[in-house]
């Protein structure tokens, strides 16, 4: 055999290294970063603890909050927790990771699969969680958004209650400050990295612009949907920051 030729075993290894990290939802890929764990107990609608005492946060979604200490719960928070318990508690599940494996709290960030079911997607599909994505973890975000749109259109789960349903920009009030909301409206004026929806100033922070292929090209009168936390500036102006292209939808 010539000195530069691949042996069959070596060629097979190279093929494995070049293969996609994950194959199908109900199979464990070879040489992937996936990990199998057993779920000890569920904390809330998007977080659980493994039998190895590690906390896992479902990636790309956010379920309503449950009551915690003196903080009241949000509508359907307990429903979301019960659903996650039904899906994963006591079961062996597969964790599929994206580029960033842990958050600032040390929790593992993962897409979770059990018996071939994509748990993150199922919760969104049922209207028990909304899409909640931050860079650099964009794996399967487009699919999550498609599931969310269907749930919103049918007013399933959280989309049927005032706390979460799509908020029209002209109805924005200071009582919405601090809430994560999906806001819809028509653009009044727009720049390269910001625009206004009535009283709401929407902008892309400098550190997040790298995730956008180009500056914005929006025109007055265009209808858009944005997602993020409603905040107030030191001047009393309501604003919302976009951290990824998935936080903006041109209607």
Catalytic residues: 57, 65, 107
239 - beta bridge partners? Answer: 201, 231
Q: Which two tokens stand for residue 72?
A: 């009241």
Element (H, E) at 83: helix 77-88
Report yes or no: 117 and 101 within 8 Å, Cβ to Cβ.
no
Tokens of 242: 């976009």
Distance CA 245, CA 209 (A): 9
Q: Is the dihedral of CA 203, 204, 207, 209 positive or negative?
A: negative
Q: 178 and 240 in contact (C-beta within 8 Å)?
A: no
Residue 227: strand pairing partners: 182
Q: Which SS3 state, helix, strand or coil, does residue 133 take?
A: coil
Handedness of CA 80, 180, 167, 246 (dihedral sign): negative
DSSP character for 210?
A: G
Tokens of 96: 């599929």
């Amino acid at each position: 055999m010539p000195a530069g030729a691949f042996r069959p075993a070596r060629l097979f290894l190279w093929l494995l290294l070049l293969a996609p990290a994950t194959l199908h939802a109900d199979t464990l890929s070879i040489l992937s970063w996936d990990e199998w764990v057993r779920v000890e107990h569920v904390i809330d609608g998007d977080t659980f603890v493994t039998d190895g005492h590690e906390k896992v946060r479902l990636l790309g979604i956010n379920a309503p909050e449950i009551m915690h200490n003196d903080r009241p719960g949000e509508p359907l928070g307990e429903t979301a927790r019960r659903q996650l318990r039904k899906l994963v508690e006591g079961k062996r599940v597969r964790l599929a990771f994206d580029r960033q494996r842990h958050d600032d709290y040390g929790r593992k960030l993962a897409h979770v699969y059990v018996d071939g079911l994509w748990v993150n997607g199922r919760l969104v599909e049922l209207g028990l969680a909304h899409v909640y994505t931050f860079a650099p973890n964009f794996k399967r975000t487009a699919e999550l958004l498609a599931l969310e749109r269907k749930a919103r259109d049918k007013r399933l789960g959280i989309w049927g209650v005032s706390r979460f349903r799509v908020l029209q920009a002209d109805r924005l009030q200071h009582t919405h400050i601090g809430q994560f909301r999906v806001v819809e409206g028509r653009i009044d004026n727009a720049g390269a990295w910001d625009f206004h929806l009535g009283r709401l100033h929407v902008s892309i922070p400098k550190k997040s612009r790298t995730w956008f292929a180009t500056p914005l090209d929006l025109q007055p009168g265009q209808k858009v949907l944005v997602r993020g936390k409603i905040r107030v500036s030191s001047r009393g102006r309501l604003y919302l920051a976009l951290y990824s292209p998935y936080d903006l939808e041109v209607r």
